[in-house]
Amino acid sequence: MPSTLFRASLAAADARCEESAREEIVSFQKSVGYDGRFRYPNFSDVGSVWLRLIKSKESEFLATIVQSLDAAPSIDEGLLAEIESVVGELLHDDHYLGRLDQFLGMVTRKAASYGVRFSPEACSFNLADAAYRCGVQNSLRAARSGIFRALQLHISKSGVAMNFSRLMTDTISVIKKTGQRFEGVKASVQSDKIFISGSDVLIESGDLIQRKMSNGGEETFEVIDPGFHEKFHSIPAGYQMNVKKLGIPEAQQALNVTTINMNGHGARVYQNSTDNSTNIITANADAQEYIKALRDAIQGANLQPAEKQAAGEVIDVVEGQIQSGRPSKPVVSALLASLPQAANVATIVTSLLSMF
């Protein structure tokens, strides 16, 4: 399929999805009004429309891509690069991150038209927006990876010769049960599967896979079935792992099991004069206490259920940053600033930030 036609097909799929979401957004816009009291929709509900939109685009784009590949006389690096480019453009973070903020602008202008002063702080907009932005970044990353994973499977089944390395868009760490760690391994990470092209690293059931995301978050997976396959014609040897995503407590416990405990901060083990030790430093216990205190403060605050849920999601991201071992202070500060100023939240936040 010529490049221009392929782009047009994906652009048409994008437009269809946007139109469907636009109808929902328009209904929210119409609900903004004044009847003796200024009324507006829940911002988290508005944001969820765009999060569902991303999922819808993933499905539509994939169907369009598969149809295009089936119609193509051959699959080469040029076509794959074109797919990657177009998907990257249409599912770029910049197209989605500011949408809830733009909706707020509409609400504020409408309030002004009624002579009403609308305060975003009064409705915990910053909290909803922070949760929305985190959700957008995670959803877009999952959508892009999901498309390329499905593309990889489709191409594998077709037996077409090509370079699979372009499909490996994630960088992971493999942590063996012995504590040995392999960094910088290229992979394609999904919710319950991880694909690796190559057999340089021996991966076994029970090993751990860690992925650090561009938003500062971190995910840990346990390998259930390595799914190793030898080279077959043009398809390189590699792994199609079945994995289980671990929650934060599970991940911390699993990582502690594979840690070699030594005396002294950052102590190492040397094997045959080569540094093969694993330094996994448990997140500061005080920080974990502050995280727990934040959760308790939010749950005990006089907030709407949706606001408590959004605040909990923000705290989850902050906890992930801390447990990554390399938290970004600007990211953590921005997230904590979005929490509602209820009960002892401000005091706890100040204490937590003082640790960085």
Please give the pLDDT value at position 273: 40
Residue 220 has φ and ψ, to the nearest 5°, of -125, 135
CA distances from 110 to 24, 32, 119, 344 (A): 18, 8, 13, 34
Q: What's the one-letter identity of residue 168?
A: M
Please give the pLDDT value at position 88: 85
Please give the pLDDT value at position 108: 94
What's the pTM?
Answer: 0.54
Query: Which residues pair with residue 225 across a beta bridge?
Result: 242
Q: Where are the beta strands (DSSP E) in the chain?
A: 33-34, 38-39, 170-175, 181-189, 193-197, 208-212, 218-225, 228-229, 238-246, 270-271, 274-275
CA distances from 27 to 20, 41, 88, 127 (A): 12, 10, 30, 23
pLDDT per residue rounded down to tens, the chain (356 residues) = 556 777 888 999 999 999 999 999 999 999 999 999 999 999 989 999 999 999 999 999 988 888 877 776 666 666 777 777 888 889 999 999 999 999 999 999 999 999 999 988 878 788 888 888 888 888 888 788 778 777 766 665 555 444 555 567 788 999 988 788 898 888 888 777 888 877 788 899 889 999 887 777 788 899 998 888 776 544 567 788 888 888 777 777 777 654 444 444 344 444 334 444 444 334 467 788 888 888 888 888 887 777 788 788 888 888 877 777 677 777 777 778 778 766 577 778 877 877 77
* Residues in contact with 176: Cβ distance below 8 Å, sequence separation at least 6, in sequence order: 182, 204, 207, 258
The Cα 57–Cα 15 span in angstroms is 10
The Cα 327–Cα 345 span in angstroms is 20
The Cα 321–Cα 311 span in angstroms is 15
Provide DSSP, 249-273. HHHHHHHHHT----SSTT---EETT
Q: What's the one-letter identity of residue 172?
A: I
The Cα 341–Cα 347 span in angstroms is 10
Residue count of the chain: 356
Q: Chain-centre distance of CA 54, in angstroms?
A: 12
Long-range contacts of residues 287-290, Cβ cutoff 8 Å, at least 24 apart: 287/322, 287/352, 287/355, 288/319, 288/322, 290/348, 290/351, 290/352, 290/355
Q: Chain-centre distance of CA 72, in angstroms?
A: 32
Please give the pLDDT value at position 281: 38
Please give the pLDDT value at position 64: 87
* Residues in contact with 200: Cβ distance below 8 Å, sequence separation at least 6, in sequence order: none
Please give the pLDDT value at position 259: 42
Please give the pLDDT value at position 236: 66
